[in-house]
Chains A and B, each alone.
Chain A
Amino acid sequence: MTILELRDLHVTYKSDRGDVPAVRGVDLAIAAGETVGLAGESGCGKSTIAGAVLRLLPRDTIVGGQVLLNGDDVYELKPGRLRAVRWTAAAIVFQGALHSLNPVRRVGEQIEEAIVLHSDRGDAGTHAVRDRITGLLERVGLRPDLARSYPHQMSGGQRQRVLIALALACEPDLLIADEPTTALDVMVQAQVLELLAELQRDRGLALLFITHDLSVLSTTCDRLAVMYAGRVVEEGRTVDLLKTPQHPYTRALARAFPTIGDPRSRMNPSGLGGDPPDPTHLPSGCPFHPRCDMAIEACATADVLLRPIRPDRAAACVHVAVSA
């Protein structure tokens, strides 16, 4: 069953410098029990998509296309219904747990607030709600008595777990994790990733995993979509996509994460020259062509959209042969 579907999503921010087209036509679908990774550099539009799904973007932002959550168009919802959809249909775990939690309230109270405001699971202070908080904390591997702690009394890993507990408070069908482990240490990152995988197995959650770290996505996701300049430039099954990247950008991104033990990357770090494009001044033609080592003359003028290569695989590059 499809939980989330983006249809030709466009997001344009308003700024002093004019319109900033952050997302320029993205189609994406996530089924129940599926993990989809959204990869790309800073500014490619991946976090904007997270905000767009739950209408968390600035009020004057122009959103085009459709965001369907369990079949409902999120942008057609009445305010009351929207509030119900947030947290119960989809919830977000952000990076930087310290900023997402209220520093002057105990974490238990913050989880309670989410339960009381967004679901019909009982009123504040009742046993039902307290049991639910205990259950949530245990679910994410925290001691229930930590409910009485303030965020600053916890470690980074514990706070990230609290955010996951919060996101699960109303049993959403979709969890959006935006760089959930970027601020964490390797060992704690492994713990959080394991937790997310477990939750997904047990609850059949649909998971949209957003990060610049392709190596994290490689171990967690069924499918990957790689974004560049507001568009998906390649998508496919994770293993397939990482083993045989078709778009030159995916290839460069994959090479940037060395496999320890691989002689090709030993004493040979690999990056990608140049900077991500400024969304207000996108290059002509294929937006990647100024940084592309395979660019030909046509790339400077002809924009290439995502094209299917074979079932479950598509890329937006002039060098890619289109499937019949």
Chain B
Amino acid sequence: MDYHSPASFAEASALAANATGITRFLAGGTDVLVQLRSELVTPDTLIDIKKINGVRDITRNADGSWTLGIAATGAEMSEHPELGRDWPGVVEAMDLIGSTQVQGRATPTGNLCNGSPAADSVPAMVAAGVTVTVTGRDGTREVAVEDIPTGPGKTSLAKGELISAVNIPARGENGGDAYLRFIPRTEMDIAVVGVGVNLRLDGDTITEARVSLGAVAPTVLLVEDCAKAIIGSTLDDASMEALAAAASAACNPIDDKRGTIAFRTEVAGVLAKRAAKIAYARAKGEDA
């Protein structure tokens, strides 16, 4: 196994482009090292990208948007004084992953690139409209988070490409987001269903909404029918029921050791309602 620690994303990209066999990028390592130790994935080339300058930075840009370095951890996001005020759903989703120790290493970029449909931070980022900057041999491009995963363990990143930054939009006025997941325990578990909701209000009426589901299909889903169900509403009972129905209808889950098709389909609707209520209250400026 070859280990590299490049000083720039261009160098990292070139290393990956020229590598043969299995290549993995190492940021927090909370998936890569675990998979290595359990012999699920034994990379031929390991490219450590957390020594590149600035990769731990969390920056608020002049327009109110945010840029996260690819090695910014869950713990750093949770402890940031401003980020969670703008995007509580994104920060809470990341914070649900693993233990305190894991939080000190794990990154949303890694969570995304691992390609798990059950990744907690991903539905929250999709709902929030987050994009990532992808660096390859021909320079950089910006890609919506929902376009990165293509199936369990698979991404749309080409050979030689890697994520070099995470871009979170400006929160703007009267917006709120939330993420909820279902696990049979209270922590230290993996989502059986995850739902991210992000919305904006004009008065009491929802004018914009994005709803994302995790662990109910081969990839995290952005569900437009869920958004349609609540846009134009005040999140009254009828729109909530329509939201739940749309969420359940969008599910394409599997029966496995973590949950059944029937359970995931039902609970996706339940969590969509609960997450929407929280996001709505946050958009109203209420504590939730």
Co-complex (A, B):
no
Interface residues of A (CB under 8 A from B): none
Interface residues of B (CB under 8 A from A): none
